[in-house]
Amino acid sequence: MSTVDLTGQVALVTGGAGGIGAAAVRRLAKLGARVAVLDLNAAGAQRIASEVGGIAIAGDVVDPATMPAVVKQVEGDLGRLDVVHLNAGIGGGQAGVDDALDVERYRKLVGVNVDHVVYGVCAAVPALRRQGGGKIVITASLAGLAAMPADPLYTLTKHAVVGYARAAGKALEADGITVTALCPGFVDTLLLGAAKEEFHAVSFPLLTPDDIAEALQTVLGEGAAGEAWIIQPGGQASAYRFRGVPGVAGRTPPDVVLGRA
């Protein structure tokens, strides 16, 4: 695990009132950061923020106005922003492969898992640029790297997040802003719901929120632009090695496509 010193820095965690988010808040505070905790659950956010001497902000990450307002508040109250952990997420809760699609639930899923990440990055980048750079870590999932037939819609959102992190990471690298994705396996949180008993029944090991917080620390210390880091029970967090796709022999795409224009 990397040695990381965040003394004097400010971090923001979305979905910070419980599970992975709460563990991340505690870890960032332990590393020296002052932490802003954003969650729809105002009481939960206040509880965790009080525990670490941070600030609590209640808000719905699906609302496009939330992340810009939160970043403005963090800079106003804490003076700066250096680390952003876009962690808020929900499960699909439906197959999404037949005509029984609940469109409202689907839009909520995409709003939390995808839109909030885009809103968060766009809101945070100007603040990070003001500090000469910073770190953005997005909680994705192994479902962003491999198909999860039990929840195709969740798989869709996490594939989107991984792709966005890979491209945004390269787009922002020159600004000194490192964007990475965390791709944990199954974590013992409320998101598992009733499936948790099925994991226990077959003695399948689950990650803990603290495992993800430890991986977050490693990524903050070692993560490179656009990487996706895998975390599985009993192993060390590591960057996933994408195979890439065949290119055009002897040809390089124009700079405008590669983000160098």
Q: What number of other Cβ atoms are within 10 A of residue 82's Cβ?
A: 21
**Residue 127 carries which side chain, given as an amino acid letter?**
A
From the candidates 106, 154, 164, 240, which is the catalytic residue? 154
From its phi and psi, is residue 91 left (phi > 0), alpha (psi between -120 and 50) or beta?
Answer: beta
CA-CA distance, 24 to 17, in Å (whole number)? Answer: 10
Q: Is 154 a catalytic residue?
A: yes
CA-CA distance, 68 to 91, in Å (whole number)? Answer: 25
Torsions phi, psi for 17 (to 5 deg): -80, -15
- CA-derived radius of gyration, the chain: 18
CA-CA distance, 58 to 61, in Å (whole number)? Answer: 10
Active-site residues, by number, are 154
